[in-house]
Chains A and B, each alone.
Chain A
Amino acid sequence: MATPETGLDAEFRRRVIDTMTTVLARLLDRPEPVTEDMRLMEELGLSSTFALELLLELEDQLLILIDVELMDQDQMKTVGDLATFVAGNSRPS
């Protein structure tokens, strides 16, 4: 269902979050859970390269193509920010 505020499909965004947190924990070899409010750089130490790997995994697992060229990395502070971007800027592969 799309939320009226953002036009985003909330259910899809939830799936993005779930997949993202699982992949992030594995990529970063982190035993503690990753949550939506965590800051990508400061808390998780996510580099640009890891971020692209994360997006590739999301594409593979969710069968989508993400419009990476539209991504302003400086606006992606938290896991939730990135999930919102992916949910709003992707299409079925």
Chain B
Amino acid sequence: MTALEAVSVYLPPVRIPIESLAGPLGLTEMQVKLFRRFHGLREVGRDPDASLYGLLMKAAAGLDALRGQEHRVRYVLYARAMPVVAPYPVNPLHEVCRALSLEHALAFTVTHQSCASGLLAIDMAGRLLAADGPGDPAGPLALILAGEKAFTHDAQVFADTTVFGEGASACLVSAFGARDRLLAYASNVRGDFDSATGENDARLQREYRPLLAEVMLQALDEAGLTLDDIRVILPHNVNMVTWQRMCLLLKFPRDRVLLDNIPTSGHVFCADLFANYQTACERGLLQPGDRYLAAAVGAGGGATFAAMVFEH
């Protein structure tokens, strides 16, 4: 069963207040107030001295479980929200593989589900590894990288919804591990929410929470569980008010949704899940055997609603 063997996260120490982004991003005073007051977004991380390669390497540097196990890594998946992040022929993923002595691994990017691509990458990694052969505690591994530079306007802010922060994560996945086992994955890919013309935006706002709730309940159902079995929800860091309202919709206690990183890091692209997982572990919120739910929405060029159930 797909399992998260180890997780490392890098969040830059430099924090930029939302107000400082108003000028460069063309935000009105009202938009800034809305971000701070209701969306709970106070600041985001930026690492002006680190390239995208540098960000990913800083996350990988903390992945102690990788040391000496490089030969076991068969796949490197880069889960990405933005389809293009570097000018050809620059390829940060391959640069990272070389630096980590992982040239032998099959490396590729998982994208086009925006910020839900991280969950897809976990599912893909597990299935690829499982298809390679029978279970073996010392068997093959996959490395999932996530995190991006906030290069462009679209990579820094999503209209009146969220502000993106820089950061990165590195996660080792096995097909048959014992810890943080993936119990179920559900996703709903909705191309009809294409954002190119803006005409679907209001409908997406209306249907966002019900569709996310639906996919979360579907994942639980596939795992044979209910929300009562869930110790904590690890959300995508879109904003506070969305998740506060999700709690009302799901009738789930707000203090069991890990919202700690939203005010200080913003939405760290596909790395949210891993950052929130690490925070949950650091805060002692997960005990062995606890089940938790991860959820994400990738919006832009369509929308993907995704959820995963894990057992710690």
Cβ contacts under 8 Å, B206 to chain A: 41, 48
Nearest A residue to B35 by beta-carbon distance?
A52
Complex: how many Å from CA A82 to CA B202? 19
* B244 located at the interface, meaning its Cβ lies under 8 Å from any Cβ of chain A in the complex: yes
Q: With an 8 A cutoff between CB atoms, is B98 at the interface?
A: no
Query: B153 at the A/B interface (Cβ < 8 Å)?
Result: no
How many B residues face the partner with a CB closer than 8 A? 19
In the bound complex, CA of A45 to CA of B199 (Å): 13
- Identify B244's interface contact among A49, A56, A68, CB under 8 A: A68
Residues of B within 8 A of A45 (CB): 202
Chain A residues, Cβ within 8 Å of B161:
49
B245 beta carbon closer than 8 Å to chain A: yes
| 8 Å CB interface, B201-231 against A | 201-202, 205-206
Min C-beta distance of B274 to chain A, whole Å: 26
Partner of B245, one of A41, A56, A71: A71
A19 to B28, CA, bound (A): 22
Interface size class of A (residues with CB under 8 A): 10 to 19
Report A27-65 residues with CB < 8 Å from chain B CB.
41, 45, 47-49, 52-53, 55-56, 59
What does DSSP make chain A's interface, helix, strand, loop or mixed?
Answer: helix
A69 within 8 A of B: yes
Q: A45 vs B245: C-alpha distance in the bound complex, in angstroms?
A: 20
Q: Is A3 on the interface with B (CB-CB < 8 A)?
A: no
B218 CB to nearest chain A CB (Å): 20
By the criterion CB–CB under 8 Å, are B205 and A72 in contact?
A: no
**What chain A residues lie within 8 Å of B37 (beta carbons)?**
56, 59
B205 touches A69 (CB 8 A): no
B196 in the interface, Cβ–Cβ < 8 Å?
no
Output the least CB separation between A58 and chain B (Å).
12
Give Cα A45 to B206, complex, Å: 11
In the complex, the chain B residue whose C-beta lies closest to that of A59 is: B37
A77 to chain B, nearest CB (A): 13
- A residues with CB within 8 A of B: 41, 45, 47-49, 52-53, 55-56, 59, 68-74
Which B residues are closer than 8 A to A by beta carbons? 30, 33-34, 37-38, 159-161, 201-202, 205-206, 240-241, 244-245, 248-249, 254
Q: List 25 A-B contacts (CB under 8 A).
A: A41-B206, A47-B201, A47-B205, A48-B205, A49-B160, A49-B161, A52-B34, A52-B38, A52-B160, A52-B241, A53-B34, A56-B30, A56-B33, A56-B34, A56-B38, A59-B37, A68-B244, A69-B240, A69-B241, A69-B254, A70-B248, A72-B245, A72-B248, A73-B245, A74-B249
